Structures are given as C-alpha cells and as structure tokens.
C-alpha cells in the first residue's frame, strides 16, 4: 500500500514522504490515526505543501540541532505536578507537559512529538527524557518533577 505521511512516524519517515507499507499497517493504524493518507493523483499535489510546512517547523540542519541539544541539556527543567503521599502523581507527566516545561524554563519551543517517553512519568523525582531533534541528533534531558 502506497501512502503519504502527514506526520512523523518513527522508523518510517517524516511529513510529505511517500512510503510503501503493508496493507494492514496502513489501513488499520496509519490512516485512522491521520498519520498518513492514501497516495492518489490529487494527493500528490499536497506533497509539496506538506514538505514546505515541514521545512518551516524542522530544525535547519545537523549543526543547529546539535547546538539546540547542548542548550537543552544544560537547562534546568522543573515540572510542578500534583502529588499524593509517597511521591506518587495524580495522573502522569506526558510529552506535551515536558515540551511546555522546556519552553517555560527558557528553552526553545519544542514539538511534543520530538519528546520521547518510554513510560509516562508517574512519580516525583528526577527523570531522564529523550529528545530527538534530528534523525542523527538525540539529546537527554534531566526533568525534575516536584510536588505542586
């Protein structure tokens, strides 16, 4: 099945890329979640528009991504969250919360899709969070979750 990606999909590609995937993966996962759309003659015209929007949002180049990672890793990020006894959070800290905390700490505006959490953060304390700014550049942030 031939699809055009509308959002970044880890291990597959970025917005505007034309990819060939198995029918079930495309029909049951990518298309319903609006991560991709079917490749048709009319959709081909939208590829250029998607790529232009991607270039505006994208990190300019490898050097710029490395510079941003260095700035982010040096940034102290504190995230206040409601917690109960024993340091357990009410709810959890998501990638969107981390991206917002980076901006509030004086860092660059991050897209939540760039922040990778293997498991949601559900306790108070210091946690390591991975940020993928470029396919070749991955940074690790130290996020301190404090009770609010």
Q: What pLDDT score does 44 carry?
A: 78
Architecture of domain 62-147: Roll (3.10)
> pLDDT tens digit string along 98-135?
999 999 998 888 888 889 998 889 999 999 999 988 77
Q: Determine what percent of the chain falls in helix, strand and coil, rounding each to the nearest 5.
A: 35, 35, 30
Q: What pLDDT score does 47 carry?
A: 82
Q: Is the pLDDT of residue 146 over 70?
A: yes
> pLDDT tens digit string along 64-106?
888 888 888 888 999 999 999 888 999 999 999 999 999 999 8
Q: What pLDDT score does 36 carry?
A: 93
Q: What pLDDT score does 59 carry?
A: 57
Q: What pLDDT score does 130 carry?
A: 93
Counting every residue written for the chain, the total comes to 148
Q: What pLDDT score does 145 carry?
A: 94
What's the CATH fold of domain 2-57?
Ribosomal Protein L9; domain 1 (3.40.5)
Q: What pLDDT score does 57 carry?
A: 60
Q: Fold identical between 2-57 and 62-147?
A: no
> pLDDT tens digit string along 35-67?
999 998 888 778 877 777 766 665 567 778 888
Query: Phi, psi (5° rounding) for residue 144?
Result: -105, 115
Cα–Cα distance for residue pair 15/55, rounded to 1 Å: 10
Q: What pLDDT score does 98 carry?
A: 93
> pLDDT tens digit string along 1-43?
999 998 888 889 888 889 999 999 999 999 999 999 999 888 8
Ordered by start, the domain boundaries in the chain are 2-57, 62-147
Q: CA 115 from chain center: how many Å?
A: 4
């Amino acid at each position: 099945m031939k699809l055009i990606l509308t959002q970044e999909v880890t291990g597959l590609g970025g917005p505007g890329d034309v990819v060939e995937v198995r029918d079930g993966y495309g029909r049951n996962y990518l298309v319903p979640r609006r991560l991709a759309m079917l490749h048709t003659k009319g959709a081909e015209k939208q590829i250029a528009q998607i790529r232009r929007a991607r270039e505006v949002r994208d990190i300019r180049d490898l050097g710029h991504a490395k510079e941003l990672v260095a700035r982010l890793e040096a940034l102290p990020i504190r995230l206040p969250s409601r917690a109960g006894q024993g340091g357990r959070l009410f709810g959890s800290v998501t990638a969107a919360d981390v991206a917002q905390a980076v901006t509030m700490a004086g860092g660059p505006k991050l897209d939540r899709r760039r922040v990778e959490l293997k498991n949601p953060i559900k306790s108070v304390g210091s946690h390591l969070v991975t940020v993928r700014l470029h396919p070749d550049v991955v940074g690790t942030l130290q996020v301190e979750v404090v009770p609010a």
